[in-house]
Amino acid sequence: MRYHSLVIVDVHAHVFPPEVRDNREEYLQRDAGFRELYADAKARIATADELLASMEAAGVDRSVACGFGWSDAELCRRHSDYLMETAAKSGGRLIPFCTVQPSDDGTRDELKRCAARGARGLGELRPQQQGYGLIDSEEADLLAWASDAYDLPLLFHASEPVGHVYPGKAGLPLEQLGRFIADFPGVTVIAAHWGGGLPFYALMPEVREGISRTYFDTAATGFLYSPDVYARVIELVGAEQILFGSDFPLISQERALQEFAEATVALDDEARRLILGENARRLLRLPDG
């Protein structure tokens, strides 16, 4: 069912090629980051067809189909191929965010290839699991160059330095995320999972100024924060910098939308419109409607 009459864009959903789902054990052995998140057999692995079915059931108009931060550049390439191929067949409903291994010698060419084939962003990038840093590194320089050269927003996994432990918690340190944003002020960053709490540092004037081009997605909100996170972050950075994300299939899109509706009942209609889809539509230059 549709919870809203507005255009809905989910900027944070995960899909994998069917071969990864069908051969999970093989990939668990090949990649430590994948093993951290998907070793538990209950951790769902979804395909593009499953995401499209979810969108139909939940009333989601478009979804960003994210790649995975594989350590191996060839696995990144194969995953990106799947994202771009399925997006091309989706009639514009799926928006491919490809992933790369920035430490690989062939990454510059791979970035050019993905941009030419329709990639609309890069993500979900996981520097810690992929073995590189974002402070004074060649990998950071390369990602910033690609974002500027090909108009590709960078969606980084971000996790909180405090709070409960969960698979994937040991992600991008907040210091590195903040430093990258400061070092490359012209780059558009989408900081996943409310940026690991980065918006709360907007009480510091220099941080507020520095994150003016940064977006924060709401993926997995129900697992991380109390519902008033929406109102608090709007007070600090404005509704214009918040993007709706589900983290499908970790959380179903229907559930994420229902949680959004319950958490934002006190917000004005314009704030809900911006967060649910208008901000993403403008950022990704999507057609209206």
Q: What is the rounded CA–CA span in Å between residue 25 and residue 90?
A: 29
Q: What is the rounded CA–CA span in Å between residue 119 and residue 98?
A: 6
pLDDT at 289: 57
pLDDT in tens, 215-269: 999 999 999 999 999 999 999 999 999 999 999 999 999 999 999 999 999 999 9
By C-alpha distance, which of 93, 112, 181, 185 is closest to 152?
112
pLDDT in tens, 104-147: 999 999 999 999 999 999 999 999 999 999 999 999 999 999 99
Report helix, strand or coil for 2: coil
54 falls within a domain: yes
Residue 243's domain comprises: 9-283
pLDDT in tens, 14-26: 999 999 999 999 9
How deeply is 236 buried, as exposed, middle or buried, from its count of CB atoms within 10 A (0-12, 13-18, 19+)? middle
Domain count, the chain: 1
Q: What's 223's domain CATH number?
A: 3.20.20.140
Strand 94-98 relative to strand 121-125, pairing:
parallel
By C-alpha distance, which of 69, 62, 46, 10 is closest to 217?
10
Helix (H) or strand (E) holding 149: helix 138-150
126 falls within a domain: yes
Q: What is the rounded CA–CA span in Å between residue 118 and residue 65?
A: 12
- The answer to whether the CB of 254 falls within 8 A of the CB of 57 is yes
Helix (H) or strand (E) holding 60: none
239 falls within a domain: yes
4 falls within a domain: no
pLDDT at 5: 56
288 falls within a domain: no
Q: Is the pLDDT of residue 166 over 80?
A: no
166 falls within a domain: yes
How deeply is 227 buried, as exposed, middle or buried, from its count of CB atoms within 10 A (0-12, 13-18, 19+)? middle
Q: Is the pLDDT of residue 1 over 80?
A: no
pTM for the model: 0.95
Q: What is the rounded CA–CA span in Å between residue 33 and residue 39?
A: 10
pLDDT at 3: 43
Which pair of structure tokens corresponds to residue 203? 């009480």
Residue 50 CB neighbour total at 10 angstroms: 18
Q: What is the rounded CA–CA span in Å between residue 109 and residue 100?
A: 11
Q: What is the rounded CA–CA span in Å between residue 58 and residue 115?
A: 30
Q: What is the rounded CA–CA span in Å between residue 150 and residue 181?
A: 18
Q: Indicate the average pLDDT of the chain.
A: 95
271 falls within a domain: yes
2 falls within a domain: no
